[in-house]
Structure 1
Amino acid sequence: MQSTLFLVRHGQSLWNLENRFTGWKDIDLTPTGIAEAEKAGIELKGQHIDIAFTSTLVRAQHTLDIILKACDDQQIPVIKNAALNERSYGNLEGLNKAETARKYGDEQVHIWRRSFDVAPPGGESLKDTYNRVIPYFVHTILPYMKEGKNVLIVAHGNSLRSLVMFLDQLTPGQIIDKEIATGVPLTYYLTDKQMDGLQYEPIK
């Protein structure tokens, strides 16, 4: 038996456009983001989706709503959970990235943004995000796939990078430069054997 997993990063948000650290701040889509979500829905139209998961943040939920409308799949179950939220940027949330670099220095901001295990002040590292997202995927989402259901996850750049790292068995060094484009579906076809091999081990 094989199940399909669709991953979509939300469309462009207002703070994406303004080059701000967004994290857990609840910022909605721009017109461009809405168009990106519509395009993702058109791309997924015709695919069979049994259940969808998203975060508790409006930009992901809005993207999912647009996708399901485009797919004519508005009646499928939707589960929202903070485990799929974007990485928290803590004290940096709301700050312009260029202004933050001028304040703290380019090198420090690059470390906060791109290192695997260094968290910004009051926020999460990518490692922290991984250790939040993957247990939820393994214990809550994967069982649906093992029943043969096809799953759609609409989430965020770093929560999805964590999931891609897990599914593709990437190292911390390999995931650092991995980008997840807004509104572009990623598709994984997983067999029973592959799913049985997906075991969560905390990264320490």
Structure 2
Amino acid sequence: MAILTLIRHGQSIYNLENLFTGNVDVALTPLGKEEAKQAGIKLKNFEYNIAYTSVLKRAEESLRIILEVIHQTTIPIIADKALNERRYGSLQGQNKDEVSKKYSSEQVEIWRRSYDIRPPDGESLADTYDRVVPYFRKEIEPKLRTGQNVLIVAHGNSLRALVMYLEGISKTEIVSFEIPTGLPRHYVFDANLKIKSVKYL
């Protein structure tokens, strides 16, 4: 048996300012740091063998806070760009409301939520899936198969892609699936890596 916990980083500065973030490397807000702390409090009864994060500081900082809260700062940490947030291309750094006025709210919603439609010069969720899932299968699944407990702190879309894979969510169902910031999504697997339970903590 093994456990896997997925956590979306806490609120970032761009989240607060209602800007498209993508792979822009912005820091957490004070609320974001508190969200990470609260996530850690929910994980105090679990022990992890290894942790993964992206190379973006909002995820790395969230992970650091969580590990401090659960007193597990000595476990191995692997940061990889495969777990980065999807690129929003030319929309990055722009205000979401202003972009909606320019292109229409319907178009923006398609860019944000659809599976395989890219924003201008950016990545679709399908593109994100194609880098997140192979990395997970190569690097993380073998750890789970040997009974190691894994913690991943990453981003809304990189984690949506991973949840699609883990739970068999369809391209149409994923459109309405949202991962809240700082709320652990917790999986328990059997010895064959079949999901025994999944829930938010």
TM bucket normalised to smaller:
over 0.9
Cα distance per residue 1:52-100 (max 9 Å; x no partner):
0000000000000000000000000000000000011011000000000
Q: Aligned equivalents of 2:62 and 2:191: distance in 1?
A: 30
Q: Aligned equivalents of 1:98 and 1:157: distance in 2?
A: 19
- After TM superposition, the structure 1 stretch with the greater mean CA deviation from structure 2, 76-85 or 139-148, is 139-148
Where 1:59 maps in the other structure, the secondary structure is helix
Where 2:176 maps in the other structure, the secondary structure is coil
Q: Aligned equivalents of 1:107 and 1:178: distance in 2?
A: 17
In the alignment, is residue 98 of structure 1 matched against residue 97 of structure 2? yes
Q: Which runs of 5+ in 1 are unaligned?
A: 196-204
Q: Aligned equivalents of 1:109 and 1:46: distance in 2?
A: 40
Q: Aligned equivalents of 1:65 and 1:47: distance in 2?
A: 16
Q: Aligned equivalents of 2:55 and 2:61: distance in 1?
A: 11
Percent identical pairs in the alignment equals 53
User: Is the Cα–Cα contact under 8 Å of residues 133 and 162 in structure 2 kept in the other structure?
Assistant: yes
Tell me the equivalent position of 2:152: 153
RMSD after superposition: 1.1
1:45 CA displacement: 1.1
> Number of residue pairs matched?
195
1:46 CA displacement: 2.4
Where 2:78 maps in the other structure, the secondary structure is strand
Q: Aligned equivalents of 2:110 and 2:73: distance in 1?
A: 41
In the alignment, is residue 167 of structure 1 matched against residue 166 of structure 2? yes
Cα distance per residue 1:101-139 (max 9 Å; x no partner):
111122221111111100001100011111110000000
Q: Aligned equivalents of 2:105 and 2:68: distance in 1?
A: 42
Q: Aligned equivalents of 1:86 and 1:69: distance in 2?
A: 24
- After TM superposition, the structure 1 stretch with the greater mean CA deviation from structure 2, 101-110 or 30-39, is 101-110
TM-score by length of 2: 0.95
Where 2:18 maps in the other structure, the secondary structure is coil
Structure 2 residue identity aligned to 1:142: E
Tell me the equivalent position of 2:60: 61
Q: Aligned equivalents of 1:174 and 1:110: distance in 2?
A: 15
Where 2:85 maps in the other structure, the secondary structure is coil
- After TM superposition, the structure 1 stretch with the greater mean CA deviation from structure 2, 52-61 or 108-117, is 108-117
Q: Aligned equivalents of 2:41 and 2:114: distance in 1?
A: 35
1:146 CA displacement: 1.1
Q: Which runs of 5+ in 2 are unaligned?
A: 195-201
Tell me the equivalent position of 2:140: 141
1:192 CA displacement: 2.4
Q: Aligned equivalents of 2:184 and 2:107: distance in 1?
A: 32
Tell me the equivalent position of 2:40: 41
Equivalences for residues 1-204 of structure 1 within 5 A = 2-194=1-193
Q: Aligned equivalents of 1:57 and 1:81: distance in 2?
A: 9
Structure 1 residue identity aligned to 2:106: E
- After TM superposition, the structure 1 stretch with the greater mean CA deviation from structure 2, 44-53 or 61-70, is 44-53
User: Is the Cα–Cα contact under 8 Å of residues 145 and 192 in structure 2 kept in the other structure?
Assistant: no
User: Is the Cα–Cα contact under 8 Å of residues 144 and 193 in structure 2 kept in the other structure?
Assistant: no
Q: Aligned equivalents of 1:28 and 1:109: distance in 2?
A: 24
Where 2:48 maps in the other structure, the secondary structure is coil
